[in-house]
Structure 1
């Protein structure tokens, strides 16, 4: 007697691997990825293989997302301390024997050229979420102080490189974990008020503070120039202010409906600098207008809210804090990039998620999304 066994279909074999994936989160990512490919095709049409490379980077990020989603949160927690220690060690190595380009020492040769600060975008929230999980039920002010020191070390090393954009993202990721862990508003409010007062005084006394020869304490010359350029881009319209001015012109020229796909004159006549990387939002705005911008912003808001919903439903302190930090990372990426292109924030070199060209940033995004999927997947499998 012989038995015939029907081989399961490919979909049935893949089902256990995708079971529990968050469909709403995946939907938001796919929308943004499509917008990124469309924009890159237009803005990068004369940049060689930029469009194909962007698609390849997305596929790599998707593969990373899929692999990390299979790792249970307990395993992620066990990686927190080693990953943090490795990241900080590499930052120290950069300070000693890093590679310098354009006045910044941010890279390290370990057989291949890497930028260790990118590791901390994920390692920092992992480490702090691990710390607060260990202190669950017995939090004291000292525990928040320790968390602040754990955050200050890598942020200080990254700022020293100098890399203001990455240090702000790492700081935002770490501070979001500390805040979600229960940091009192009594400690949060005073720095915010001082910051608002400082910004007000800076705007009022801008001509005196940004006059030639005036040097600010605690800031490098290039950082001071970026702030002064933000307050008055026309101070140096063909130099430091050129990026902001051209970005605002492109955004304004798009109007309500935009000039149409592949029809952006500021983009295709090459007035927009870095139009496939940091300033790609200006190219998008010119071609798709206010309506396109609102849809893009809505897609980012949807992604962030879905990540926060995953955080609210997470079963442990570690997963709640980690998912909340991932949501804030996506928010900060989008807000800072759109803000600097629009002229309301200094230019700090932060890419727009899924839209800007860049392999390293795309890998970081894939890791963050994979962590969110892992948390959502573990929760759904437990419920079932």
Structure 2
């Protein structure tokens, strides 16, 4: 009985309870909207419930793991992830024009998902080893560590995952002390590039024009963003229908399971990338604000854990995990509302998908581990 009590105490102490409460609310909301998105009879609802259970278990296991142990494993995890990406490059399976999967015999995996976690872990480990004494050359080395998996993922091609890996690594470098002055030229170049893209849209979006740096489907997504009405029944169909669904929800929404765009099958990928359109149609503006508040609390709690971490490793990794959630939300809602290209980024804890939920569960577990062990980590 005493051992059972000690085990239960360990389970309870493993969690950061404010973070857990936010995640439970988001999990319940995710299952509620998934029930509507699948129409109440689809097998994907039961599958998603199982995915949540697996993600919760992964979160708990990681939360129990001391950050010191994670630090020792970090270089091996990063190297293992890069090796798997190389395996995809040479031996990967191709589906729908993309080579993103690796068949290991007993299981088929998508290694790029793993790099969303291991890249920020590796960069946090690298800067932690420098003990705050690093210069410009160290940021160059960190940039190389980030660029290797980024390039391999872009080649698959998987621009959405590559973007998430890039941003999670960038936030580690920024929190480590990357000078804001170095970001100004990049910001200016981005503004100039976007302005040129909009101004010369008619010329550069002509059929047959090769953009060289982007695949044809990626070029089509950018051009569709600039003018969805150019192909309303083809490339622009996703964006147009999701915007109609969001607009038709109005202030109060049409009501749970009453969304016409959803249940008449006008919203493609409504259980995955475009699930926010389902939610906004049924719950309206107020429902959308409620969801954004939950995400704000999630990200805020992650940044709070980062601020209170007692080591460089914990501070950088927690900050990167929190900002990774932000990038997920910003990119997904941006592409569903028509202000960003469609890049296949799921909405955290809402979109259907076991691999993505497992990644989010591990990220949440890392935050809990850093929160729980900060006193032990400092000694």
TM-score tier after normalising by the smaller chain length: over 0.9
- Match of 1:295? 290
**Which consecutive aligned stretches of 4+ in structure 1 deviate over 4 angstroms post-superposition?**
8-13, 380-383
- Match of 2:162? 167
1:343 corresponds, among 338, 341, 354, to: 338
CA distance in 1, matches of 2:25, 2:367: 17
- Match of 1:4? none
- Match of 2:185? 190
- Report the secondary structure of 1:240's partner residue: coil
CA distance in 2, matches of 1:123, 1:16: 26
1:64-121 Cα offsets, whole Å, 9 max, x none, are 1111101000011111100110110111111111100111011111121111111101
CA distance in 2, matches of 1:102, 1:278: 16
- Match of 1:270? 265
CA distance in 2, matches of 1:264, 1:380: 49
- Match of 2:69? 75
Q: TM-score, normalised by structure 1?
A: 0.95
- Match of 1:327? 322
- Report the secondary structure of 1:105's partner residue: strand
- Match of 1:61? 55
CA distance in 2, matches of 1:49, 1:8: 42
- Match of 2:306? 311
- Match of 1:3? none
* 2:112–2:161 Cα contact (<8 Å) kept: yes
Q: TM-score, normalised by structure 2?
A: 0.97
1:39-77 Cα offsets, whole Å, 9 max, x none, are 001111256211111111101100111111010000111
- Report the secondary structure of 1:234's partner residue: helix
Which consecutive residues of structure 1, in runs of 5 or more, have no partner in the other structure? Answer: 1-6
CA distance in 1, matches of 2:49, 2:127: 38
- Match of 2:234? 239
The yes-or-no answer on 1:94 pairing with 2:82 is no
CA RMSD of aligned residues (A): 1.6
* 1:45–1:51 Cα contact (<8 Å) kept: no
CA distance in 1, matches of 2:40, 2:31: 15
- Report the secondary structure of 2:373's partner residue: helix
Structure with larger Rg: 1
1:215 corresponds, among 210, 219, 224, to: 210
- Match of 2:16? 22
CA distance in 2, matches of 1:313, 1:27: 19
CA distance in 1, matches of 2:193, 2:263: 40
CA distance in 2, matches of 1:108, 1:209: 36
* 1:257–1:288 Cα contact (<8 Å) kept: yes
Which consecutive residues of structure 2, in runs of 5 or more, have no partner in the other structure? Answer: none
1:267-306 Cα offsets, whole Å, 9 max, x none, are 0001000111111000000000000000001100110011
